[in-house]
Structure 1
Amino acid sequence: MPRMQYRTEPFEHIVMRDGVVVVAVDDRRRVGLVRHTLPPHGEVLSMPGGLVEPGEEPPAAAVRELAEETGLTAGTWQPMGTFAPMPRSTQLLHLFEAADLTHGRPCPEPSEIAQGMTLEWWPPEDALAALWDGQLKLSGSALALLAYTTRRAR
């Protein structure tokens, strides 16, 4: 069997901060989706989430992003795993389930205000249908929804 030859030139990769995605689950077991405009994708549905700030731990980033984008706070948090969303990227995506929700007022960052974020509640099976018909197109949201519905089915 021939030996594999490995490339010795520099490995091209993208350096990116880690991200978080939150599956917010209400008392009727619906999931929270945020409808917003995201250049260059246009109008999208996504789970609340964003980048981890320098010096911030992923659980704290999840709490912050959920509050900023939806006004929600959660009494119960469950980590759902950490994934590398893209090959050749340093970014890790940390997924969380948030339940026992309390509604408050969203406090989006200035860049998020222009996106026109609106929180909608979807039954998980309808959110899955939105994924398959292209409405839920961001990879982190797709992965978080699939992780949540798979865990729920077990």
Structure 2
Amino acid sequence: MPDTQPVDPPPAAAPSAASSHRVPPRLGPGDRVAIAAPAAEGCLLLLEETGEQPYRLDRILTQLTRAGVLGRAAGLVLGDFTDCGPADQVQAVLADRLGGLGIPVATGLPAGHGPLQLTVPLGSLAQLRAGPSGTTLTLLETPLAPRQLPPRQEDLPCAC
């Protein structure tokens, strides 16, 4: 029977000089097909997965690293890794593959296929801060812009 508990990502490593900075790009696509697109350039990438065993997560992350996709990202935001095998193995793969990228990595966003499915406004301007006290993700703009309504025309005849 598959493990149905969401996996808590590994705690963020102590930021290095290369990762202790502010990143103001837009949130980018999160599945492994979409993030291979040129749109991943300079984005904060949301990574989440469901139903992939640790050895497959390792392969996916290795492929994305070797293809330069993760190196072009401004930072990573880790969501849920649901039904992906034993939590300790998933955490070990994430820490091993993402720990040395030299970019900020935020962990524990309740987004993806877990029990809490936070709506993430992809394309919104965001800031990822990594520092000694932890990593935070802040949206810098309202994901839904107010809409200008047309002028009211009260004197139109009803067609009913």
Fold match (TM-score > 0.5): no
**Between structures 1 and 2, the one with greater helix share:** 1
TM-score, normalization by structure 1:
0.28
**Between structures 1 and 2, the one with greater strand share:** 1
TM-score, normalization by structure 2:
0.27
Greater radius of gyration (CA):
2
